[in-house]
């Protein structure tokens, strides 16, 4: 057992309490028959040690999605020149942690390099470039991905096809051709169509169902539909409405997953907004649980610190289940409760390091027994296990927190 200095203990105490392995979102999800509860991540935040500690906590996250590092502009910035460094960093992390990898994405109208978006193409030459990209990328990650988002956001809000370079040059056939090409490169990976605003019944959801039927009519493989679920607090569809829409896809013989969940609010955050956000998260996760064929939920990063929302939607944010200081918000408890887990009463402490002040909230399992490595094993109000699994010692950090190390 390595003895930590008083300074190291103080620093750890300022970081670790918010990363307690309690009931855990992924643990609870798997216990309910889901394949995973996961999160997106991106390469810049992998330099943040505290962030990576929680990202690697498989009690909460059993799956990772690369937010940007597998998109076309990153992987094939110039024609037939491929760069996998950033995508591999996240794939390697997932493998080291024993987490599933949802790969994202192969064909999209956005984040294309200029040689694609501004090129001079014919139907034949663009098809060749698309198939070459898909074949190379899927082959590189063969056997490493649970699923690929093959085609992303191909629809307008009215359910018609988006006027992308793919559609205007090739026509709707680009979609089944993309799926067939991906299946040829890796016959075992799950292949998804992924889009936003298809969680509501209506024209766009019907358009997504028609895409599934189109791919099937070509004899190509499609395994699932990804519902991005970028929602707004107070405007999130009800649990029953979401479950009904999901059933519209699973009735076509495909699975579904919530792939990019976040629920944003108009800032500043208030107790009322946080309470509604908790309800909205709970209803969305519960809808997946209630749907036979909904395999898992992925949040679009877990902390407000790295959320895409504030840079995209002016005046909005606070969309994730953890705040920018890595403290769990009521949304976390809403998700956990929907998954059948139980969080203990929270204890809030404020700790300081030499560089920052962080407010943290600790929670864990009410279960008794033996605490696993890294789990909480003591502290004021703690009702869980106080004995660590063999090989680890319950190490005191402060009056509120001890951990198995």
260 in active site: yes
Give one DSSP letter per residue of 347-394, joined into a string: EEEEEE-SS-EEEEEE------SEEPTT-EEE-TT--S--EEPTT--E
Owner of token pair 């090989």 = 391
Calculate the alpha carbon distances from 30 to 119, 337, 339 in Å: 46, 14, 9
Kindly write down the DSSP assignment for every residue of 309-338, as one continuous string: HHHHSTTEE--SSB-TTSPBPHHHHHHHHH
What are the respective helix, strand and coil percentages of the chain, to the nearest 5? 40, 25, 40
Answer for the pair 165, 205: CB distance below 8 angstroms, yes or no.
Answer: no
Strand 376-378 to 401-404 pairing: antiparallel
Cis amide bond preceding 105, omega within 30: yes
CA distances from 49 to 44, 52, 258, 371 (A): 11, 5, 27, 24
Residue 258's SS3 state is: strand
Choosing from 76, 199, 255, 260, the catalytic residue is 260
Contact assessment for residue 214 and residue 154, using Cβ atoms and an 8 Å cutoff: no
Catalytic residues, which ones?
260
């Amino acid at each position: 057992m390595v003895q930590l200095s008083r300074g190291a203990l103080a620093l750890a105490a300022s970081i670790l309490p918010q990363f307690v392995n309690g009931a855990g979102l992924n643990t609870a999800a798997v216990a309910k028959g889901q394949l995973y509860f996961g999160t997106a991540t991106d390469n810049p935040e992998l330099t943040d040690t505290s962030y990576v500690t929680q990202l690697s906590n498989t009690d909460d996250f059993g799956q990772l999605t690369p937010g940007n590092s597998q998109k076309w502009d990153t992987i094939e910035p110039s024609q037939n020149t491929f760069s996998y460094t950033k995508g591999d960093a996240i794939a390697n992390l997932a493998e080291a942690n024993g987490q599933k990898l949802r790969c994202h994405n192969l064909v999209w109208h956005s984040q294309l390099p200029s040689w694609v978006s501004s090129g001079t193409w014919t139907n034949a030459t663009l098809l060749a470039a698309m198939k070459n990209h898909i074949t190379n990328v899927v082959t590189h990650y063969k056997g490493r991905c649970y699923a690929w988002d093959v085609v992303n956001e191909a629809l307008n809000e009215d359910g018609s096809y988006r006027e992308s370079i793919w559609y205007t040059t090739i026509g709707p056939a680009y979609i089944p051709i993309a799926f067939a090409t991906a299946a040829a490169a890796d016959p075992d990976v799950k292949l998804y169509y992924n889009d936003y605003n298809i969680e509501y019944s209506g024209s766009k959801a019907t358009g997504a169902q028609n895409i599934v039927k189109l791919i099937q009519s070509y004899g190509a493989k499609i395994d699932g539909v990804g519902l991005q679920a970028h929602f707004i607090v107070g405007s999130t569809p009800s649990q029953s409405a979401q479950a009904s829409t999901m059933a519209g896809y699973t009735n076509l013989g495909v699975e579904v997953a919530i792939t990019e969940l976040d629920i944003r609010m108009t800032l500043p955050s208030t107790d009322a907004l946080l309470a509604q956000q908790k309800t909205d998260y709970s209803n969305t996760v519960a809808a997946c649980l209630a749907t036979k064929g909904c395999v898992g939920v992925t949040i679009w990063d877990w902390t407000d610190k790295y959320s895409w929302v504030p840079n995209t939607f002016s005046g909005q944010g606070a969309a994730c289940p953890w705040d920018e200081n890595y403290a769990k918000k009521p949304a976390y408890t809403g998700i956990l409760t929907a998954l059948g887990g139980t969080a203990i009463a929270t204890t809030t402490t404020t700790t300081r390091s030499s560089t920052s002040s962080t407010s943290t909230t600790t929670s864990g399992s009410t279960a008794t027994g033996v605490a696993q490595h890294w789990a909480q094993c003591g502290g004021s109000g703690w009702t869980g296990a106080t004995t660590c699994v063999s090989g680890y010692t319950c190490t005191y950090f402060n009056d509120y927190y001890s951990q198995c190390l």
